[in-house]
Amino acid sequence: MLNLKTTPFHKRTSALCQPQNWRKWAGYFVVGSYEHVLDREYWAIRNSAALIDVTPLIKYVIQGKDAAALLHRVTTRDIHKMKVGQVAYTGWCDEEGKMIDDGTISRLEDLTFRLTAAEPNLRWLTMNAVGMDVSITEVTGDVAALSFQGPNTRKVLNRVAEKQVDELKYFRLMTNKINGVEVTISRTGYTGDLGYEIWMDNKDALKVWDTLMEVGSDYGITPVGILAMDMARVEAGLFMLDVDYTSASHAWIESQKSSPFELGLDWTVALDKKGYFVGRRALEKEKREGSAWRMVGLAVDWVGMEKIFGMVGLPPQIPGSAVRASLPVMVGNVQVGYASTSTWSPLLKTYIALAHLQRPYYEIPAGGEIGTDVRMEITVEHHRQYAPAKVVNLPFYEPEWKKK
């Protein structure tokens, strides 16, 4: 049989997945949605506690005397500044300063890091490690991972974990025990809400899942598939490889590539760090000269939508999940960019999109919230229409408890 892999949680997730909605993720099957309608799963992220199987995330353990040096060289962050127990989100680029992939780096021990990635990067890492005293091991299939997201997650962890998580700060990690099982808990996620990611050995996966589900039921724990997470990540202004940008290593043509600046990752590009890193020269140049593109938020005007749909006698029709389709964005009759993911935000009650706009249309006045008036293509009864929208700062939504 030519089956994809299943995760160590499959026994539980498959029993709960009512609509048989499965998605492929890095060679694994994961649940797209557990229920026929996404509402409850989405709201678990925003209102209670969402349990998401994120095992397929590609994971490398990078170990050795030169582990920090390798990551310092490959990624745009200043790795030498990272303390043990710290997590850093980063992108990494090719020589031209174009993004290859993005993920998180966890400093597990002084000489041990875990790097997550959307796609396999072993070859790239190995090529950059020539002459270094470092080992790079892929552990994707050995380490199970749960993303635990939502405002009630801290309360649940405090009930199940041996050590309290109250002191665990945003983008920090700790070792802990859940029902006797050794886990690493990091204060990270892909939803822009309060949340944690729990890393454990494969063999312990079900024990951790069951413990969380049992105790979490008092706090509204809900198994959540990746489709609801996809809506939340757009609200949080977080992009996805192969959806919102193309890896420089897969791009067919130059214009498919994006720099970290173009994706709004300025804060992750440590141009002040010491020494060489891949793409440094190109990124310095782009920093000086400004970027041709930039990822921004678009908030589509509901009244405008009502008007456009009203012309054919319909109330606005909105897809029930995030749309991964490229939609032209116009100013007047000129195309100035495109939206790469759009979704209805059940919380903001606004149709929102991650969009890539050309200079100068992406500019938002300093200190301002709202910039250019644009129009985004939508299809109304098989006809192409343009809905009025505003350029806004990302993220669309950031609750006060996200970093608290």
Partner 1 sequence: MTSSNTYDAIIIGGGHNGLVAAAYLARAGKKVVVLERRPIVGGAAVTEEIFPGYKFTEFSYVVSLLRPEIIRDLELPKHGLKILPLPSTFTPMENGDYLAAWDDHDLTRRELYRHSPKDAEAYDEYARVMARAAKAIKPIINLIPPDPSSMSIRDLMGLLKVGQYAAGLSEKELYAVAKLATQSSADLLEEWFETDALKGTKAASGIIGTFLGPRSPGTAYVLLHHYMGEIDGAFRAWGFAKNGSGGVSGSIFNAAQALGVEIRLNANVKQVKVKGGRAVGVVLENGDEIDSKVVMSAADPKRTFLQFVEQKHLPDDFVTSIQNFRTRGSSGKVNIALSKLPNFTALPYTGNPATGAGRGGANSVLHRGAVSISPSIDYIERAYDDAKYGQISKRPYIDMIFPSMIDPDMAPPGHHVMSCFVQYAPYDVEGGWDDAKRDQLGEAVIATIEEYAPNIRECIVGMQVISPKDIERIAGITGGNIFHGELLLHQIFFLRPAPQWADFRTPLKGYYFGASGAHPGGGVMGAPGMLAAKEILKDGF
- Residues that bind partner 1 in the complex, under the rule CB under 8 A: 12, 15-16, 35-37, 39-40, 43, 46-48, 152, 155, 210, 213-214, 216-221, 223, 302-303, 315-318, 320, 344, 346-349, 351
- Provide, rounded to whole angstroms, the least separation between the CB of residue 326 and partner 1: 21
Pairing of strands 5-6, 28-33: parallel
Of 169, 159, 163, the residue nearest 182 (C-alpha) = 163
Q: Which is nearer to partner 1, 125 or 231 (CB)?
A: 231
- Provide, rounded to whole angstroms, the least separation between the CB of residue 353 and partner 1: 14
Q: Which is nearer to partner 1, 12 or 257 (CB)?
A: 12
Number of neighbours of residue 167 by Cβ within 10 angstroms: 8
Q: Which is nearer to partner 1, 92 or 351 (CB)?
A: 351
The contacts of residue 367 (CB under 8 Å, 6+ apart) are: none
Q: Which is nearer to partner 1, 14 or 86 (CB)?
A: 14
Q: Rounded to whole angstroms, what are the CA distances from 289 to 129, 179, 201?
A: 31, 54, 47
- Provide, rounded to whole angstroms, the least separation between the CB of residue 320 and partner 1: 8
- Provide, rounded to whole angstroms, the least separation between the CB of residue 37 and partner 1: 5
Q: Which is nearer to partner 1, 275 or 310 (CB)?
A: 310
> In whole angstroms, what is the distance from residue 122 CA to residue 104 CA?
15
- Provide, rounded to whole angstroms, the least separation between the CB of residue 11 and partner 1: 8
Q: Which is nearer to partner 1, 269 or 323 (CB)?
A: 323
Q: Which two tokens stand for residue 358?
A: 């050309």
- Provide, rounded to whole angstroms, the least separation between the CB of residue 177 and partner 1: 19
- Provide, rounded to whole angstroms, the least separation between the CB of residue 61 and partner 1: 31
> In whole angstroms, what is the distance from residue 115 CA to residue 27 CA?
18
- Provide, rounded to whole angstroms, the least separation between the CB of residue 164 and partner 1: 16
Q: Which is nearer to partner 1, 125 or 224 (CB)?
A: 224
> In whole angstroms, what is the distance from residue 297 CA to residue 343 CA?
11
Q: Which is nearer to partner 1, 139 or 213 (CB)?
A: 213
Q: Which is nearer to partner 1, 84 or 303 (CB)?
A: 303
- Provide, rounded to whole angstroms, the least separation between the CB of residue 385 and partner 1: 16
> Under a CB-based contact definition with an 8 Å cutoff, are residues 160 and 178 in contact?
yes
